[in-house]
Amino acid sequence: MNRVEKRPLRLFRNELCSVSYRLEKHATWLTESLSYSLVYLARGSFSFTAPDCSGKLVPNTFLLVNPATSAKYLARNASLLSLELSPALVIDCAARTRLAGASSSVTFRAGETLSDRTISRVAADLIHEISEVERGHEAAIAALVEQLVIHVLRHYSILKRTDALEFSRVGLIDRRLRRAVELMLAQLDEELSLKDLAAASCLSQFHFARLFKKATGFTPHAYLAALRTTTAQRLLAETDLSITEISLRVGFASPSHFAKAFRQTTGLSPRAFRAAIVHPVGLKS
């Protein structure tokens, strides 16, 4: 992997989304997340490869990615805006705007190069807010992200009601798997076996593993790894805990192992991720 820590990067994060703006001379990285994603290319060249599709973005086009999708990205002389949207944010926007019920599943129109004047306008405003960091930028970014989510829900999503899902701290989850996910969240710092997770859901290991993969797109332990990365990002952004302490809290035996796993998933070292965070004006910079 390229030494992406040297990328010029601005990163805004709250409990519902993260927004990053970066300039990439030549970089390749992999991504797999529990969140929905939108990648917008302002200028340069950007290509993507996922299990069922591949393509290229040209300036002022964007790509949508659903949760649990593995993708490889290649950027050259690129100015990129990337959004990670939590399932909680997407479902809440759908429910509040009456586009769908709170128990509906949402699937983005993924794997295509898309062009939309509204998305381009909102993306330009987001780039300005995250680059200039003026007073009130947190509220402005949150409002712009919500506007973008509602537009995507209206024009680029499939919404289906299902009684098999219920809302949890990580968004919609199959009700049969909720106890296993809660166990993961409660014991991120511990080694959890497939037997432990299956027992929490009152299922055999075989049926639990099949159901989990079908429902989430992840194996149980890949899902656990994604939860650990998401939690680590929150701790890096919102606390002053040392990287060593964070690595222990999310289940890594050493900071070096944590840094390697974090870099493979996010494209950044924990230190570079923390340094890129945009803080409220007048507070920690």
Task: Please give the pLDDT value at position 209.
Answer: 95
pLDDT > 70: what percent of the chain? 91
- Both 209 and 125 in one domain: the answer is no
- Both 203 and 78 in one domain: the answer is no
Q: Tens digits of per-residue pLDDT, 38-84?
A: 999 999 999 999 877 899 999 999 999 999 888 889 999 999 999 99
**Residues facing residue 52 across a β-bridge:** none
Q: Is 283 inside any structural domain?
A: no
Domain span holding position 101: 4-161
Q: Is 266 inside any structural domain?
A: yes
Tell me, letter by letter, the H, E, C secondary structure of 169-182: CCEEEECCCHHHHH
Q: Is residue 105 pLDDT above 60, yes or no?
A: yes
- Both 112 and 211 in one domain: the answer is no
- Both 194 and 95 in one domain: the answer is no
Q: Is 285 inside any structural domain?
A: no
Q: Over the chain, what is the mean pLDDT?
A: 88
Structure confidence at residue 202 as a pLDDT band (50, 70, 90): very high
Structure confidence at residue 25 as a pLDDT band (50, 70, 90): confident
- Domain boundary among the residues 108, 130, 161 is at 161
Task: Please give the pLDDT value at position 137.
Answer: 93
Spell out a b/e string for 140-164, using b for 16 or more CB atoms within 10 Å of the CB, else e: bbbebbbbbbbebbeebbeeeeeee
Strands 17-31 and 171-174 come out as unpaired
Q: Is residue 18 pLDDT above 90, yes or no?
A: yes
Residue 19: closest CA among 80, 107, 91, 90:
80
- Both 196 and 121 in one domain: the answer is no
Residue 87: closest CA among 37, 39, 38, 36:
36
Q: Is 268 inside any structural domain?
A: yes
- Both 151 and 189 in one domain: the answer is no
Q: Is 284 inside any structural domain?
A: no
Q: Is residue 5 pLDDT above 50, yes or no?
A: no
| 134-148, 150-164, 200-214: least confident range | 150-164
- Both 59 and 35 in one domain: the answer is yes
- Both 211 and 150 in one domain: the answer is no
With H, G, I as helix, E, B as strand and everything else as coil, classify residue 98: coil
Q: Is residue 3 pLDDT above 60, yes or no?
A: no
| CATH code assigned at 28 | 2.60.120.10
- Both 209 and 85 in one domain: the answer is no
pLDDT > 90: what percent of the chain? 64
| CATH code assigned at 229 | 1.10.10.60
| 101-105, 112-116, 234-238: least confident range | 101-105
Q: How many domains does the chain have?
A: 2
Q: Is 281 inside any structural domain?
A: no
Task: Please give the pLDDT value at position 51.
Answer: 77
Higher pLDDT, 88 or 166: 88
Q: Is 167 inside any structural domain?
A: no
* Cα–Cα distance list, 88 to 12, 47, 79, 139, 181 (Å): 18, 28, 28, 18, 15
- Both 25 and 157 in one domain: the answer is yes
Q: Tens digits of per-residue pLDDT, 128-149?
A: 999 988 899 999 999 999 999 9
Q: What predicted TM-score, i.e. pTM, was given to this entire model?
A: 0.85
Which residues contact residue 103 at a Cβ distance below 8 angstroms, ignoring those fewer than 6 apart?
161, 162, 163, 165, 166, 167, 172
